[in-house]
Amino acid sequence: MRVVYDTNVIISAALKPGSIPASLVTLALTGRVQLCVSPPILAEYREVLHRPKFGFEAHGIDAFLADLIRAALTVHPSARLTVAPDEADNRFLECALEASAAFVVTGNLRHFPVPSFHDIVILEPARFAQVLAERLLP
């Protein structure tokens, strides 16, 4: 199952080990879900993780991102979208579209204009975890 994680999911995972976002990132790192990224998304992850207010060490950020990149499918979107009100959020939709992802997972649903885009479902982390649990149970 291919999925795109909004930056807020990555930040929440890093700030709160044991949280739902942290478990979702673990699923991506272990290959249980296929995280899809693009160069603009990786640049945003890197920039936000390096913000001083979070207090993450540069070495730890680099190691975390290296692990994420190894586990992820990197795509190079050819379509430029202007669907989301926040321009930067369009990069996540572009990535999901290019990767044929089933989901975009975000903690900020209000930044996305509709509950789905094409065949891509946009969900909050807790709801995505629920969907995964339902699919993994016999």
- The reported pLDDT for the residue numbered 83 is 86
Domain count, the chain: 1
From first to last of its 138 residues, the chain has per-residue pLDDT tens of 999 999 999 999 999 999 999 999 999 999 999 999 999 999 999 999 999 999 999 999 999 999 999 999 999 999 899 888 888 999 999 999 999 999 999 998 888 877 778 899 999 999 999 999 988 765
- The reported pLDDT for the residue numbered 137 is 64
How wide is the angle at C-alpha 101 spanned by C-alphas 18 and 89, nearest 5°? 75
**What is the bridge-based pairing of β-strands 120-123 and 116-117?**
antiparallel
What is the layout of strands, in order, in the sheet containing 116-117?
Answer: 73-74, 34-37, 2-5, 103-105, 120-123, 116-117
Q: Residue 29 in contact with residue 66, Cβ under 8 Å? A: no
Specify the pTM: 0.94
Question: H/E/C letters for each residue in 53-79?
Answer: HHCCCHHHHHHHHHHHHHHCEECCCCC
Range(s) of the domain holding residue 60: 2-136
Supply the CATH number for residue 112's domain: 3.40.50.11490
User: Nearest CA to 72 among 61, 64, 80?
Assistant: 64
- The reported pLDDT for the residue numbered 109 is 85
